[in-house]
Structure 1
């Protein structure tokens, strides 16, 4: 039921200073797969019959393995797992799947006797993120046969399987994925090696990183660090809690943390009474202890249900249940009023209701399908303050204490059912919690949360309350005003999809959830509700896989419907519901853009463009198979074929800079002699000249690379001596310029132009960290300007040179950031952008000879054109003035790079993937209304 809330922008770590997480959308939220015409061979599955809405064969995305094959009747006798593996082996031409690379991940048995065998793809024993292939069997004994198969299996992966970077460096990089304020007591738990299936694949080490925000709320991120380069390849928030207020947004505390045995043998079943959150007495199943006291342990079902009362303790204490924590208790079977006001009674009763729904209606035995214990914790706080939230943390439900506006979050049955459904999802499809797959995770939790409430309460599907989620949470106000989401908001892909980067709501997991859940809710309105519930549940548990997008979800529901015996007319009704919400193949191509695309479907998570004098440079994938990622350059006008700059030497080439004539970048990895190191390379953009080495080291990581007139500048930091040096390697072969900073001083945000260097110099002054924009003349060999802030808490970032001045973003200790400019001699400080509502974000400033472009998040959360959850680009003249929107594209606009004049390139996620796009001039006032170009 989560309300979307702003995620702090956290980029990469170590040398990945410019890591853009928006690029990940290319494979976690891929373009819609198209139904493929099957090849005419004897081993091809039959195509769908005319008029049959269930696809026969759906081609995979960037893989030879089909996503879905239906309409089969191939004999497969024997043990289901062995029979499924043998079937894939016997039909390798059909599936392009190597059974030797599959590990059995479980078998799901449906109430009608059908079995689904789920396999995890491994490469050299290393699991591939989200890669699962499923085989569906029906019949028994000799009559057992395969009805369908499909999922995600990535062919053509060539990633190494042995790490080359020491574990301590990988762990340090993982910790860097948390905001600075959260790192003080952060931990990074090693979850093992994982191959990311982007391009040819990347070997990473997966860490679960945990820290605490400045307000004490816990933060948890899944971080994947490249095990051959030591840089963050992917980082995203763990499954987030239900959020009633944008200010409160802690993350899951400890996924999969084991809870103590909630029902020791000494507890015997009993019954009692307890008040609910509204003071109404309810009958409860409880447990009696040997000392004669009672606790909230329900032993009347195969899955023991236990509810703990945190009694106001901090949410961070309950990653695992503390040894001194006890279930809600009472000296008599009649529990006191506090049990209700804390939300314990409602949580306890709701857990039983949800268990019964899944068992009696859908045949599922508990959240894990195995009658595992169901544990809830109520009345937690955050940093000593009320905590209006609820979430599933991987093993249990956590419910906040509520506040003056909201009841404890267990007060709403649909909220409890939503969170517990996340447990069902985690033990079945286990969606990657980002992009479209994360939006499906939220959408399915919404669907079953509401389905459980309307079924239990006897609410008709046409009742206005039926489609509301969380409408019972508010102490005052109408249900419509209180509800956090509306499943009947009629959102569609083309009109409402918000292409968000991972810095915005984990790629739009809440922003876009009702597109999918709305389609499912329409199906429930049209079909018999029980039939709809069974079909959607079967799709979730038997057909969906972790990296599915909306169209894959549609195909899964249709396939599940056919397996469940829906008529052709009913299947057409299901298809029509998805059509009405725009969930059909190719929907991304119907999104209107006012920008010009330069490079499509960027798969690398290391991508961040640079531009100058009519040329762009960035990581891209331009070969037909999208398996090769390299550093490319092209023209900003979009003409011609991109030119590859980086050599094919097995190293990672990124963190580029350009002056429009040449490029400089960093290569990380083993050289031809097998020695790991860091090398700064440079080459002309024509691609015709040699690639030259400007610097090489086996132990020091160059950062902040810049180039101008062939000169290459970068910084080197020595952590052992706490010193930083700025280096300039000259194109004419003259001696290298080395500028040592005082001990304890460090440089960031380097720029180089016209013989002048600029950087942000930072150092500790007492208890404060001071950041001062600094200008250095190469000809004079000295600092000519350093803008030390009057208040050391006012931090400077993103320093640039343009128009003979230094420009930077100034972030005050309180209030909004501004864009500031100063002369190269230290005089004439002016504010180009006063503290306006479109305040720039640090490290997002880019400048040309005429304009300043920056990223800001502003606008109304409910307005998809100015959505406050997604980054938008703004531009103003170099001399100051009124900012204008660069583009009306409604998705995330990240990593801007100014060219010349008002032209800018950026990474745009509007279409549900990451594209490099450009505009010549700001779109301006046309973005102010819903009439903006679509």
Structure 2
């Protein structure tokens, strides 16, 4: 886990805001040009809504109380904003040192909060002279999602718990139900939001579709339990301000602000500021004990006298306490902010935590306080003022823009924390901006070595979107929230180097507090900073300097089009949950957000025409699709009708024929739907045992007999053959056998019980495929080796050959295999973080070999980012989900790119 992180951020499902056809009226199709060379745009369109994201340059009367005046202004201009004031609830009004006020509203669809839906109105002047000068944010105009759950509260709770892999975690986890929320995914999706607190790991936030009961979004979090201890939020009664001394980690004795207890003794509580600052020593306790809540009876670090002993220094407590005061003063004196929450709330630090007794080389903000560990061979983490300020800035972000921790919004969260972390340090320490250590983060943690070698990140790394953006999905660093942070943070730091640092600090803070919203990306961040510059009265020359800094880091409209993609994009911003594509005969099928709402769509691989919706609008989740190029088959789950909880459906790809139900069940778990002409197959399981089912010519599905204790997975159906990998347990060994069944004879025609090469020991067969009259699978050694062999055999079991050996540098670590009559496409990925750190080159890539064998692997595409969920069409054509541009785009290539 990277240092300086807010959470582990491992997501089960990623992209929240996605659309096939943005609902943007022609008048708002592009940002209006700024007048007279002013780089501040007058209007920025919303990308997936009819509401503009930014309108500036206004001076329109809005007398009265700020919130009411702001709502009246929005209501008076419906054609401009396309916002329904009745859906807005005030989150708060902030006032800057210059008297400007910003009202922040949350969008609520039918009374249900919309994730990331916030709209802001900025006012200046007082009383009758008050005017609106700008407005904008994220308001979603296409929402039609239901606002009442169709699934019972208990079913939703069970579904959330089911996201935990470990049965013991599921049995003992605490469940916090945060209520319903609308995910703004096209027409929207009503979800119930849970935070799970398993005993053995981090808290996990889970969103469950309230109409189907399916988990649609999940991620690890450091969210605390809802009952924080009083000691963490308020000082004990009767404490009196005091001063004393304490050693810091370097051995120097420094003055500290303390609190004297009524009964005698002193503690690390600073009562001299508007926010009470308290520092606790965990004394080596596990960080999870403090992540969840403050342990009962915990008190700040204490001493009988005002002169604290050496443990205050070795634990990092003194540095944390002093640094918390410096950060508080920076935001108060330079930016006019009253504490991290803007309301003078307590500032709490916990130092000296471990990871089950081992060093915890990390620091994080857990949404209520800072928690610091100690790394081996390093000073305690709170020793670094920039680290402390970074974590505390996350508290400021949480109470302003509150960025969603994914992709570009998450990267901006880290970038702004990096910026203010370093800004606090150079200001408090008197470090010049041209000092080589000024842009380094965490450089003071190492007792030996150079600051450059010690630094965790550096804001002068000159990274740009076009050259360096790491195109990864949610599986890695929540879409690159740390890995891409210095692209945006570097632009902010360049602004601080070229403008007066005080002006730059106020500029970034104004953008954060008064313009940015949870789902904003890098370009929205650029526009927010420039608009804040206009508010602060920057000259046109200064504004052009700000714009030039963003230009230098490639943060400008349309940067994704300049990163050198060699694939053809079919769909942009595809929701990744349950969205793996299927392909055949020049057609693709997958779950997506389209002109007719979210559902199962089909389209042409040549990109012509408009995608056609196949699934009915019945409130269920339609996905897990297969196609033979003429028809599609898929699985529908959920809905208010308990008789149709699981249903296998088919329809022609033209979208003009009937949608037919093949099988439905309320008791069995259906998976692996496959179709070939008039034949359809799937597995249905109960008690964990999956049995293949076959429907011929539109007839009722028939369960195929399996030996007792055997189960089937990786179903394939093609050319009159049905295949599966049969699984059973023999003692401690899991046996996996590729198996073929003839539809014509109704019998098993081939089994491969000895699929491992002679002398290699047991192995696991996965990723079954049929193509070109051959059966293919991936053979993984059962000795924890990470690379597998791609095998091929004739349908009768003869002629087993290796198409790609596990010794190949490109040998895959996992399936599936995407096969056509000519080629086999597979994905190669690193098992763990490369020694030199993550790069685009280390992300998953697609490779292809000839089905007949004898050819070296070739890269399918030179797209530099992650490549996922491949499906093969005819010949060498492949379609997949590509994350190169920072989104999950459905793309296609006709033939391999070869070497890259």
Q: Taking structure 1 as the reference length, what is the TM-score of the superposition?
A: 0.88
Change beyond 3 A, Cα 1:219–1:536: same
Change beyond 3 A, Cα 1:780–1:398: same
Q: Is the 8 A contact 2:11 2:217 kept in 1?
A: no
Q: Which residue of 1 aligns with 2:775?
A: 805
Change beyond 3 A, Cα 1:8–1:540: closer
- 1:644 equivalent in alignment to 2:613: yes
Greater Cα offset, 692-701 or 807-816: 807-816
- What secondary structure is seen at the aligned counterpart in 1 of 2:438? coil
CA distance in 2, matches of 1:836, 1:524: 49
Match of 1:234 among 199, 212, 217: 217
Q: Is the 8 A contact 2:99 2:125 kept in 1?
A: yes
Long gaps (5+) in structure 1: 13-20, 239-251, 927-934
Q: Which residue of 2 aligns with 1:434?
A: 406
Q: Which residue of 2 aligns with 1:566?
A: 538
1:151-550 residue pairs with structure 2 within 5 A? Answer: 151-179=137-165, 183=169, 185-211=172-198, 218-238=201-221, 252=222, 254=224, 258-262=228-232, 263-318=235-290, 319-404=292-377, 406-550=378-522
Q: Which residue of 2 aligns with 1:121?
A: 107
Q: Which residue of 2 aligns with 1:677?
A: 645
CA distance in 2, matches of 1:795, 1:145: 70
Match of 2:73 among 87, 90, 93: 87
- 1:726 equivalent in alignment to 2:692: yes
Shift of residue 816, structure 1, vs aligned partner = 1.5
Change beyond 3 A, Cα 1:607–1:462: same
CA distance in 2, matches of 1:329, 1:789: 66
Change beyond 3 A, Cα 1:780–1:63: closer
Greater Cα offset, 196-205 or 472-481: 472-481
Match of 2:560 among 569, 588, 591: 588
Q: Which residue of 2 aligns with 1:775?
A: 739
Change beyond 3 A, Cα 1:568–1:8: closer
Change beyond 3 A, Cα 1:267–1:236: same
Change beyond 3 A, Cα 1:397–1:769: farther
CA distance in 2, matches of 1:324, 1:786: 63
CA distance in 2, matches of 1:581, 1:472: 27
- What secondary structure is seen at the aligned counterpart in 2 of 1:704? strand
CA distance in 1, matches of 2:175, 2:733: 26
Q: Which residue of 1 aligns with 2:883?
A: 909
Q: Is the 8 A contact 2:726 2:736 kept in 1?
A: yes
Q: Is the 8 A contact 1:115 1:136 kept in 2?
A: yes
CA distance in 1, matches of 2:169, 2:75: 48
CA distance in 2, matches of 1:284, 1:710: 80
Q: Deviations over 1:50-78 (max 9, x none)?
A: 21111111111121111111122222222
Q: Is the 8 A contact 1:135 1:148 kept in 2?
A: yes
- What secondary structure is seen at the aligned counterpart in 1 of 2:120? strand
Greater Cα offset, 612-621 or 794-803: 794-803
Q: Which residue of 2 aligns with 1:72?
A: 58
CA distance in 2, matches of 1:789, 1:6: 46
CA distance in 1, matches of 2:708, 2:373: 47
CA distance in 1, matches of 2:462, 2:565: 22
Q: Is the 8 A contact 2:9 2:219 kept in 1?
A: no
Q: Which residue of 2 aligns with 1:16?
A: none
- 1:655 equivalent in alignment to 2:624: yes
- 1:758 equivalent in alignment to 2:723: yes
Shift of residue 268, structure 1, vs aligned partner = 2.8
CA distance in 2, matches of 1:186, 1:797: 32
CA distance in 1, matches of 2:567, 2:892: 6
CA distance in 1, matches of 2:205, 2:260: 40
- What secondary structure is seen at the aligned counterpart in 2 of 1:261? helix
CA distance in 1, matches of 2:5, 2:777: 31
Q: Is the 8 A contact 1:25 1:909 kept in 2?
A: no
- What secondary structure is seen at the aligned counterpart in 2 of 1:322? coil
Q: Which residue of 2 aligns with 1:814?
A: 784
Q: Is the 8 A contact 2:479 2:886 kept in 1?
A: no
Greater Cα offset, 696-705 or 103-112: 696-705
Shift of residue 530, structure 1, vs aligned partner = 0.4
Q: Which residue of 1 aligns with 2:677?
A: 709
Greater Cα offset, 612-621 or 425-434: 612-621
Change beyond 3 A, Cα 1:531–1:866: closer
Change beyond 3 A, Cα 1:328–1:207: same
Q: Is the 8 A contact 1:257 1:394 kept in 2?
A: no
Q: Deviations over 1:338-385 (max 9, x none)?
A: 322222221111111111111111111111111111111111111332
Match of 1:749 among 703, 714, 724: 714
CA distance in 1, matches of 2:443, 2:849: 43
Q: Is the 8 A contact 1:809 1:845 kept in 2?
A: no
Q: Which residue of 2 aligns with 1:668?
A: 637
CA distance in 2, matches of 1:552, 1:321: 37
CA distance in 2, matches of 1:134, 1:578: 23
Match of 1:694 among 655, 662, 669: 662
Shift of residue 420, structure 1, vs aligned partner = 0.5
Q: Is the 8 A contact 2:278 2:348 kept in 1?
A: yes
Q: Is the 8 A contact 1:31 1:912 kept in 2?
A: no
- 1:736 equivalent in alignment to 2:693: no
CA distance in 1, matches of 2:462, 2:553: 7
Q: Which residue of 2 aligns with 1:100?
A: 86
Q: Is the 8 A contact 2:591 2:598 kept in 1?
A: yes
- What secondary structure is seen at the aligned counterpart in 2 of 1:155? coil
Q: Is the 8 A contact 1:619 1:654 kept in 2?
A: yes
Change beyond 3 A, Cα 1:807–1:420: same
Shift of residue 4, structure 1, vs aligned partner = 9.7
Q: Is the 8 A contact 1:758 1:773 kept in 2?
A: no
CA distance in 2, matches of 1:530, 1:313: 40
Shift of residue 393, structure 1, vs aligned partner = 0.7
Shift of residue 656, structure 1, vs aligned partner = 0.2
CA distance in 1, matches of 2:537, 2:881: 45
- What secondary structure is seen at the aligned counterpart in 2 of 1:924? coil
CA distance in 2, matches of 1:685, 1:861: 47
Change beyond 3 A, Cα 1:782–1:38: closer
CA distance in 2, matches of 1:256, 1:395: 11
CA distance in 2, matches of 1:362, 1:11: 35
Long gaps (5+) in structure 2: none
Q: Specify which structure has the bigger relative contact order, considering alpha-carbon pairs within 8 angstroms and separated by 6 or more residues.
A: 1
Shift of residue 401, structure 1, vs aligned partner = 2.3
Aligned CA RMSD, in angstroms, stands at: 3.3
Q: Is the 8 A contact 1:23 1:607 kept in 2?
A: no
Change beyond 3 A, Cα 1:793–1:289: farther
Q: Is the 8 A contact 2:278 2:349 kept in 1?
A: yes
Change beyond 3 A, Cα 1:5–1:546: closer
Change beyond 3 A, Cα 1:805–1:656: same
Q: Is the 8 A contact 2:6 2:364 kept in 1?
A: no
Shift of residue 24, structure 1, vs aligned partner = 4.3
Change beyond 3 A, Cα 1:444–1:769: farther
Q: Is the 8 A contact 2:613 2:655 kept in 1?
A: yes
**Count of aligned residue pairs for this structure pair:** 885
Shift of residue 388, structure 1, vs aligned partner = 0.5
CA distance in 1, matches of 2:592, 2:803: 37
Greater Cα offset, 521-530 or 751-760: 751-760
Greater Cα offset, 537-546 or 491-500: 491-500
Q: Is the 8 A contact 1:655 1:666 kept in 2?
A: yes
